[in-house]
Structure formats: structure tokens, C-alpha cells
Amino acid sequence: MLDLLIATHNRGKVREYAYILGGLPLRLLSLAEAGVTQVAEESGQTYAENASLKAKAYAHASGLMTLADDSGLEVDALDGEPGVRAARYAGEDAGDRERVRYLLSRLEGVPWERRTARFVCVIALATPECSLQLFDGACGGLIALTPRGDKGFGYDPVFYLPHLGKHMAELSLEEKTKVSHRGSAGAKVRIALEQMLKESA
């Protein structure tokens, strides 16, 4: 059984990765469970840079193989904002509801057909020996006029998926994993881990 550190304090993310990587001989640990208290710097200008910084820092601090991601929401009518600043868009201390409210206020008056957006995710997988692999995924949709659903986190309540006729926060974990940016990148990580585990067996 291989220990894999999931470099986040976000319980929703840990739950999603537990589902994505379910069935593999892995023991997933959150930062708290691994006793890691340091805060990794997220000073990169891209998702890949931030994910890499976190993965390498936490792999070094914990001595464990580490999975870290950076994700964001890119809204076309806002010239790609909030992008890598998605978690800090409404201020450093803002919660999910405040971020959603702020995003909707920025889009006030923008017609439906111009509310196109995408979620983007880059996952970095790092070993304590400084080996690093990157995996990406994306998911397109529209920013809804009002939030709906209580199953997701972040901007999920206002991210509408036209082909499903649902908001991201209305999807079950199984449904979300099939279509989300994190599910898409995570599927690639799963393949890499399966190969790694096979080689070490």
C-alpha cells in the first residue's frame, strides 16, 4: 500500500480524489493527516507553475509522493478572469458564497450567450526525489444567472453544463467525475499511478 499525500485542506477535493483513485492500492492522506503544517507558496503565473510549486514543496516536507493541483475558472466575457486567481477573486478571506456573488456581480447585464466559461485543472504528481509529472483537464460551460445545487464547492453552483441541463453543483460525484476538469486530469493521473504501481510490484 503506497501513501499518497493530497496537498489540500479542501475536503471536497480530497473526496473527489478518493473517488477518482478508488480501488488502487493507495492510502490517501490530507495535509492535516500527514501532519504537514507549512503553507506552500503559490506565486506562479500559471496553473502548472502553482501545482508544481505545491507538489514539490509538500513532497519534500512530508517525504511522501504528493498530488497537488491548481485549478481555475476562465470566463470569456471577463477576458479569462478569474483564472489562476479564482480562489482569491473576491479577496483573500472570502468564502465560496462571496466568490460566487462577486463573480455574478461582475457579469451583471451580460447576456446568456456571452456567459461562456471553462474550468481548467492542472495536477502535479511529485516524489520526494523531485520527479515531477503534470496532467491537465478542462470542462466548458456557461455561468448561470443564479446558483443552484449543493453538491459541489467553489464556483460549481453557477457553472451550467448545457449538454446535461444541470449546474455542476447538482451532479453526483460519479456524474461530476465523468465531465469535470478535475475528473479529466485525474483520469490521466490514475493511469500514471497504475503504471507506477505495476512497475514497483
Say whether pLDDT at 167 is over 80.
yes
Considering the candidates 69, 70, 96, 156, report the single residue annotated as catalytic. 70
Task: Report residue 1's pLDDT band, with 50, 70 and 90 as the boundaries.
Answer: confident
Could you give the number of structural domains in the chain?
A: 1
195 φ/ψ angles, rounded to the nearest 5 degrees: -65, -40
In tens, the pLDDT along 72-117 reads 999 999 999 999 999 888 888 889 999 999 999 999 999 999 999 9
Q: Are 8 and 55 in contact (CB under 8 A)?
A: no
64 φ/ψ angles, rounded to the nearest 5 degrees: -115, 155
Nearest C-alpha neighbor of 178 from the set 124, 139, 121: 139
DSSP state, residue 107: T
Residue 70 designated active-site: yes
| Mean per-residue pLDDT of the chain | 94
Whether the predicted model's global pTM rises above the 0.85 cut:
yes
**What range does the domain containing 61 cover?**
2-200
Q: What is the CATH number of the domain that holds 109?
A: 3.90.950.10
Output the nine-digit C-alpha cell for 201.
Answer: 510490484
pLDDT of residue 80: 97
In tens, the pLDDT along 13-41 reads 888 999 999 999 999 999 999 999 888 88
* Beta-ladder partners of 126: 66, 132
